Amino acid sequence: MLTPLHKQLLNDFQRDFPLSPTPYRDIAEAIGVSEADVLSALSDLNANNFISRIGPIIPPNHIGVSTLVAMAVPEAQLQAVADKISAYPEINHNYEREHRFNLWFVAIASDAAHLNAVITAIEQECGYRCLQLPLLDDFFIDLGFKLDMSHA
């Protein structure tokens, strides 16, 4: 169950996260709790899959290079291939789609040569070709949400 502190952290710090050497202390001071309380609450949220990470969202290709990649993987091998792909530090996330190309992921690297090397390594390790879908038009979808604070 979400506590009032959990809800406040989720509502108030999805955006405008403090950019300082002590962001968790800054949050604690802003909302009147201890830094340990903030860290404990964030740990709870992570353990219960309410959050998966805390970090910046950097627009594609502003730092390094990136591409969206699609693969056609037999259903029986999908989880094993997804796990192999997720093991690469250059992979931002991957997900299943209902399509012949059923496994999609975003690959990010410092430069084009590194990106191509990662894609080639994934193809060789997994045994399936990668269809690269480079960014042509940038669309931003704000995935933030406001929790209903009237229900505990």
Q: Please give the pLDDT value at position 152.
A: 44
If asked whether residues 104 and 77 sit together in one domain, one would say: yes
pTM above 0.85, yes or no: no
Q: Would you say the C-alpha torsion 112, 113, 114, 118 has a positive or negative sign?
A: positive
Closest Cα partner for 68 from 95, 88, 100, 98?
Answer: 95
Q: Please give the pLDDT value at position 142.
A: 58
- Does 78 fall in a domain? yes
If asked whether residues 32 and 69 sit together in one domain, one would say: no
If asked whether residues 22 and 74 sit together in one domain, one would say: no
Element of type H or E holding 119: helix 112-126
Burial of residue 5, with CB atoms counted within 10 A of its CB: 0-12 exposed, 13-18 middle, 19 or more buried: middle
- Does 138 fall in a domain? no
If asked whether residues 22 and 70 sit together in one domain, one would say: no
Averaged over successive runs of 10 residues, the pLDDT of the chain (152 residues) comes to 90 84 95 96 90 70 81 96 95 90 93 96 97 73 61 46
